[in-house]
Structure formats: structure tokens, C-alpha cells
């Protein structure tokens, strides 16, 4: 039997992916400010990257309350659904596949980004020691209010509606964002969740919201078309947890039992080191999952090739490399050099640093 490579096909539910190279979800803050609506420029950007085995869209708020940064797209209004339709059509026209990442930021927001200037919501009224971008400047995140127990079903319903909208918009599947210190992660962790109701305390209670959301999503989509992103050992957005190994061993086992299509793991600190705390093991958590395993964080070609060849990894999600290289798959296949990333154009703006990174062929033609 030959060993798998990044360029072999992979079955994800009933989808066949032509390679194992995934475009990671990447916040770029380029939706139309009026209504947080995706538009033609975003369609061009995603279509340029359609040779990925799978594209996961940038995180997209499921409700106005779920927004935490300027100019991120939503998936709750009709205009947003229509906007996303342009993107899924453009990706499909180039034989690509695209999932949308469903996002609620919880306490990682600012009153100026919330409907009627209200406080953001969270498991507990504890501010994160974190910052967000309000469209003008980086600002400290606002003190949130704790969600009432009676509101939880409404939050679950917002996820359900977003999943329905994702279907209307023509996506091939959905990824649930339960990582990086946002709402679902805040519920999972005892550093942010001090509740005494059925949604706080034990691991079972802290994960109740996540599993109520997954139950709602699996009513809308086949489980095989759903992924879940987790970041067990990350401190993104200043989230603390006294025992992530126990929390995530439990959570991943239950996600696996639901038949969820893939587990998307941020290995280490989000966008930072792959080192883990003393005694921590991603492999032990990963071992609980029976479906497709998607690895992310700091992968280069060699690390990715080795991970897929015997490292227990099925798919590798690349972030920064995909921003700067629309033809990343072709470049990796040829072991060609990569374009450098311009860090000044990551968040906000227009085509510059977004749709103007050249493919190898374009670069050669311009030389």
C-alpha cells in the first residue's frame, strides 16, 4: 500500500475532496459595512483559492449579538445570504467546495459593535483581558452580561437559523467555531464560566450549550457535512481553563459519538507556538475522535507531509500561506516557493493584500 500524501483524495461524509490541503478560516474584515454583507470582492478572493481540497470561510456571525469586530460578515440576514450565494457560486464554478464557519463571539466584543450599544453576552459577567477592533481603533473588550438560563434556547435557535441560511446560500457544509476564546469556548472553560445553573460547573454542564447547538445543527445538515473547531491548549482571547485535557477528552469523545464529519484542531497557541503545556497531549484528545482529523497551526510543507504520512492527520488547514498564495495547492505539489505575506493588509481594506497576490504563472508572466 502506498503512503497517503497531501495530494491524495479524501472522503468527507459523502463529499470527495481532491486533496488534503484545506484553506483555514481567516478573518479578513472585508464585508460591506452596511449590514455586514459579503460581496463580489470576497467572491473573487475565495474563487482564486478554489483548488483547495476544502475552503472554510472566515468566521461569520450567526446573529447581530454574535459580532465582535468591524466588517466581519454575518449569516443571519437575507442580504447576507444573497451575498454569500455569489461566493459559493463562484467557488463551485471553479470546482471548489466551501463550508461556512458559524461564529458567536460571546464576550469578545464591544458595546459599539452590538445592537443598540448593548453589552455583549457571555456565560458570566466577567470581562476578557482582550482587545477587539471597532473600525477605528483597538479597544478593550466590554464587560459582558451573563446570559439568562431562559435565553439559552434562543441562542441555540440563532445557530439553527444560521445553519439553515448556510444551506440557502449554497454552502457544502458548516464548521462550528468552538475555539479561540469565543462564546462556545467561554462556556467550556472554568476561567470564563462560573455559572451555577445547568450550563456551568461540571464538564457535562459546561459543554451543554455546545451539544445543544450540535443537536440543532444535525437537524439541518447531515453530521458528515459538519465540522467542529477546537483549540484546547490555546489562550487566545485570554481564556483560562484549569484542566483542558479533561475538558476536551470528554468533549471530543461526545463529538465523535455524534458522527460529526471532521474535527478541526488548533494545535498549540492559535497562530503561535505548537508547544504544549507540561503533560498536555493533543494525541490523546485526537484519539477520542473516529472521523476525519484536520490539523492546523504552523504547518509547513514538510510538517504537513509527515503528518499525513503516518502522523494520524487526514487534512491540514493552512492559513497564512493561503492568504499569500491563491495557488497554494499547485505550489506545494511542485515544491515551489511561496509569496511572502504582507501583515499590514490582513484586516480590513480592499483588493490590496487580498485578491492581488499573484499565482506562480502570473508572477512568471510579469517577470
The residues that touch ligand 8OZ, with contacts defined as CB under 6 A, are 27, 59, 69, 180, 236, 270
Q: Which of 76, 182, 199, 299 is catalytic?
A: 182
198 with 205: CB under 8 angstroms?
Answer: yes
Q: Which residues contact 7 (CB under 8 A, 6 or more apart)?
A: 19, 20, 21, 329, 332, 333
Residue whose C-alpha is closest to residue 326's, from 305, 304, 341: 341
Task: Tell me the closest approach of the beta carbon of residue 42 to ligand 8OZ, in angstroms.
Answer: 15
Nearest distance from residue 61's CB to ligand 8OZ, in Å? 10
CB contact at 8 A, 240 and 181: no
- Our CB check for ligand 8OZ shows the closer of 10 and 182 to be 182
Least separation in angstroms between residue 234's CB and ligand 8OZ is: 9
The secondary structure of the chain in percent helix, strand, coil, rounded to multiples of 5, reads 35, 15, 50
> In the complex with ligand 8OZ, which residue's Cβ is closer, 56 or 305?
56
Decide if 109 contacts 67 (C-beta within 8 A). Answer: yes
What does DSSP assign to residue 340?
P
Q: Nearer Cβ to ligand 8OZ, position 111 or 131?
A: 131
Q: Please tell me the distance from the alpha carbon of residue 137 to that of residue 150, in angstroms, as a whole number.
A: 35
Q: Calculate the alpha carbon distances from 267 to 105, 182, 262, 288 in Å.
A: 20, 17, 15, 15
Is 46 assigned a catalytic role? no
* Ranges of H-type helices in the chain: 40-48, 78-93, 152-168, 183-188, 203-206, 208-220, 244-257, 282-286, 301-308, 320-324, 328-333, 360-366
Rounded CA-CA distance 35/336 in Å is: 40
Nearer to ligand 8OZ by Cβ, of 348 and 358: the residue is: 348
- Closest approach, Cβ 27 to ligand 8OZ, in A, equals 4
Residue 7 is placed in which grid cell? 495530494
Q: How far is the CB of 10 from ligand 8OZ (least distance, A)?
A: 24
Residue 6 or 102 with smaller CB distance to ligand 8OZ: 102
Cell 485535557 sits at which residue? Answer: 245
Q: Please identify, using beta-carbon distances, which residue of 13 and 181 lies nearer to ligand 8OZ.
A: 181
Please state, in angstroms and rounded to a whole number, the distance separating the CA atoms of residues 227 and 55: 12
CB of 240 to ligand 8OZ, least distance (A): 17
Catalytic residue positions? Answer: 182
Amino acid at each position: 500500500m502506498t503512503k497517503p500524501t497531501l495530494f491524495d483524495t479524501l472522503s468527507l461524509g459523502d463529499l470527495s475532496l481532491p486533496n488534503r490541503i484545506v484553506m483555514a478560516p481567516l478573518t479578513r474584515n472585508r464585508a460591506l459595512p452596511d449590514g455586514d454583507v459579503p460581496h463580489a470582492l470576497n467572491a473573487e478572493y475565495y474563487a482564486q483559492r478554489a483548488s483547495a481540497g476544502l475552503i472554510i470561510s472566515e468566521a461569520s456571525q450567526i446573529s447581530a449579538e454574535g459580532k465582535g469586530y468591524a466588517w466581519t460578515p454575518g449569516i443571519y440576514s437575507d442580504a447576507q445570504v444573497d451575498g454569500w450565494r455569489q461566493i459559493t457560486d463562484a467557488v463551485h464554478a471553479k470546482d471548489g467546495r466551501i463550508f461556512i464557519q458559524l461564529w458567536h463571539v460571546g464576550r469578545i466584543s464591544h458595546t459599539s459593535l452590538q445592537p443598540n450599544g448593548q453589552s455583549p453576552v457571555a456565560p458570566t459577567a466577567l470581562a476578557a483581558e482582550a482587545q477587539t477592533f471597532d473600525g477605528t481603533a483597538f479597544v478593550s473588550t466590554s464587560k459582558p452580561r451573563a446570559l439568562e438560563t431562559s435565553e439559552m434556547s434562543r441562542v441555540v435557535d440563532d445557530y439553527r437559523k444560521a445553519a439553515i441560511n448556510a444551506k440557502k446560500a449554497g454552502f457544502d457544509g458548516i464548521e462550528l467555531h468552538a475555539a479561540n476564546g469565543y462564546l462556545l469556548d467561554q462556556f467550556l472553560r472554568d476561567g470564563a464560566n462560573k455559572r451555577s445553573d445547568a450550563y456551568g460547573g461540571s464538564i457535562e454542564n459546561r459543554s451543554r450549550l455546545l451539544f445543544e447547538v450540535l443537536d440543532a445543527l444535525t437537524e439541518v445538515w447531515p453530521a458528515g457535512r459538519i465540522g467542529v473547531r477546537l483549540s484546547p491548549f490555546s489562550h487566545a482571547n485570554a481564556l483560562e481553563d484549569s484542566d483542558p485535557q479533561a475538558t476536551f477528552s470528554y468533549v471530543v469523545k461526545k463529538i465523535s459519538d455524534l458522527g460529526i464529519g471532521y474535527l478541526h484542531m488548533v494545535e498549540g497557541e492559535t497562530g503561535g507556538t505548537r508547544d504544549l503545556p507540561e503533560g498536555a497531549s493533543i494525541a490523546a484528545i485526537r484519539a477520542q475522535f473516529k472521523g476525519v482529523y484536520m490539523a492546523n497551526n504552523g504547518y509547513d510543507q514538510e510538517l504537513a507531509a509527515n503528518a499525513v504520512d503516518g502522523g494520524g492527520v487526514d487534512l491540514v488547514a493552512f492559513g497564512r500561506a493561503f492568504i499569500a498564495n491563491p495557488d497554494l495547492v499547485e505550489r506545494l505539489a511542485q515544491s515551489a516557493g511561496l509569496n511572502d505575506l504582507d501583515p499590514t493588509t490582513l484586516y480590513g481594506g480592499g483588493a490590496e493584500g487580498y485578491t492581488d497576490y499573484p499565482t506562480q504563472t502570473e508572477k512568471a508572466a510579469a517577470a
